[in-house]
Structure 1
């Protein structure tokens, strides 16, 4: 009887172990899709995708929802995408860190935060007046230069970051307590912008005083006169009603930055996916790039119109003096990061 009971116990233990079916994660470890990390169990794959904007109308969210839609459709549900709109962090530095540590799989970040990881070359895409139109920007990022930058990102991050595509956050303009009609009008003005690096250096050359204010506190800072002005794209500052503040109602279309944003995936995890999963993710990324840009371009016009209707005053300016001020800075940065040839290529494509 004892032998019979012992044999029965062994059979039950093995049966229970077989039913538990512990899944294998994308990096080969045991795991579940409930823990916020990606999971690659059997034929299924969970992707955690995140950006730092909280508005459901933001182009980032529209692009990420398209990524989710296409990935899940292309895989017949075998790839599941969980989109986080500001819920994994409103700071891009947080998102970069989560991507490196594996707490997120796909994130969207700007050049400024990427360069803090030691990839200085990407600063070239963020310099003032590097691009003069969306057509110019698209030719650069969607062509040979964009491919070269993707290779640099992969190599210098030791494959922590693999580029899935280039998004944009619009074309940035000045808005402040008064219109500007020349570079001289910026002298002494407290301008909310980056306070270190090449961008800060540029605004200092105009005579402005770069001032640091958190994005969530900028409405109040403009209203109370903590800063005299700021700079951003229509879909961003109009959504936040900055143009309705005391120091935000005058918009001068300086067009100083056709912005670049990087859609990244953890490269090491990506390498462990099946070929079918890789193909699905790349198709989803391509669709998301197209959708995000379309949404942004449409919103540029929509929110410019909204600003006018709300009483904001918009004026054009001769950009050439601003462009000439930016060229020596572009030359300096390109030399420092060893990308003089790339800078020449970008200029030649205008």
Structure 2
């Protein structure tokens, strides 16, 4: 586990928030949620009543948050109201990396996070940060829904987590406060990256200065010049309003980093096999809805930033980009060999 003074403070804050959310009427169980005695009825109605929390970084109208809500609705419906999951959007329970640590502890029961920071908790998830390994969105989903892709969800158990399903996050590209039309324009720029060492290596290979930073601090840092640039997908670029302070977008689509829906293994292990199956299936059944919402919002976001006057440049030839990062990919090939083979086979 990766503890800092800030993280210890976050855990204490979340624990206090959990007491307020849980209320005084029900006894808190050891999972961090609330449980009451069994209810009458049959099938999904039988068993303890649970009230859980799901931490989400993005705002309420964002496609991943909508996916979270659909998942929670399916769980509530299929358990006949016995299992409820309240979604907390807009980083109310903390930023992603700190939340992952809290989910490990069971202080928060569920979360939806990018697979980017997950590399710090499970090395296999670092493969998603490798650049240019997916050709398009169809290629991504062929892999994620394959046996190898779904199997990665269970590898998180050794990290105190259980993966439940994947969500879309589109393709990541660079945007800057300065004009950028080629790889040369990135040289020397201070670029915010997701907090993992692979992303640091990629940005360095492209000749820029990698700056790890929580997502919530990026806007002000771009505004004040602490950062020159960042990288993300269309919806995040739009919903965060980063286009206001970084109006130059270069579409290289260097990463297609999926999202993952997680539950604390501490919580998971206390659930019956029937409740586990119900929750897992609800997560899988929420994927199609989230993908549809993503595609819709991605188009709306693109249209909105174009209308706002953002300068958008499409990278026509990825050869120099791929050549620049090839040493990074080669250095991880031994570590991710079998997963990379599965990704290649999914084309």
User: Normalising by structure 1, what TM-score?
Assistant: 0.81
Kept in 1, the 8 Å contact 2:222–2:228? The answer is: yes
Q: Which residue of 2 aligns with 1:172?
A: 172
Matched, 1:289 2:314: no
| Structure 1: gaps of 5 or more residues | 1-29
Kept in 2, the 8 Å contact 1:51–1:60? The answer is: no
- 1:87 is displaced (CA, Å) by 5.7
Q: Which residue of 2 aligns with 1:31?
A: 27
Mapping 1:118-197, distance limit 5 Å:
119-154=122-157, 156-157=158-159, 160-194=160-194, 197=197
Q: Distance in 2 between matches of 1:269 and 1:37?
A: 8
Q: Distance in 2 between matches of 1:145 and 1:47?
A: 32
Closer, same or farther: CA 151–219 of 1 in aligned 2, 3 Å: closer
| Structure 2: gaps of 5 or more residues | 1-25, 39-46
Matched, 1:343 2:340: yes
How many residues align? The count is 313
Q: Distance in 2 between matches of 1:174 and 1:101?
A: 35
Q: Which residue of 2 aligns with 1:332?
A: 331
Mapping 1:196-345, distance limit 5 Å:
197-245=197-245, 248-317=246-315, 318-335=317-334, 337=335, 339-345=336-342
Q: Secondary structure at the match of 1:203?
A: helix
* Structure with bigger gyration radius: 1
- 1:65 is displaced (CA, Å) by 0.8
Q: Distance in 1 between matches of 2:333 and 2:125?
A: 10
Q: Distance in 2 between matches of 1:150 and 1:195?
A: 21
Q: Distance in 1 between matches of 2:216 and 2:210?
A: 17
Kept in 2, the 8 Å contact 1:46–1:79? The answer is: yes
Closer, same or farther: CA 49–127 of 1 in aligned 2, 3 Å: farther
Q: Which residue of 2 aligns with 1:59?
A: 63
Q: Distance in 2 between matches of 1:114 and 1:196?
A: 8
Kept in 1, the 8 Å contact 2:54–2:108? The answer is: yes
User: Normalising by structure 2, what TM-score?
Assistant: 0.82
Q: Distance in 1 between matches of 2:286 and 2:195?
A: 32
Closer, same or farther: CA 32–187 of 1 in aligned 2, 3 Å: closer
Kept in 2, the 8 Å contact 1:195–1:210? The answer is: no
Q: Distance in 2 between matches of 1:223 and 1:87?
A: 21
Cα root mean square deviation, aligned: 2.4
- 1:86 is displaced (CA, Å) by 4.3
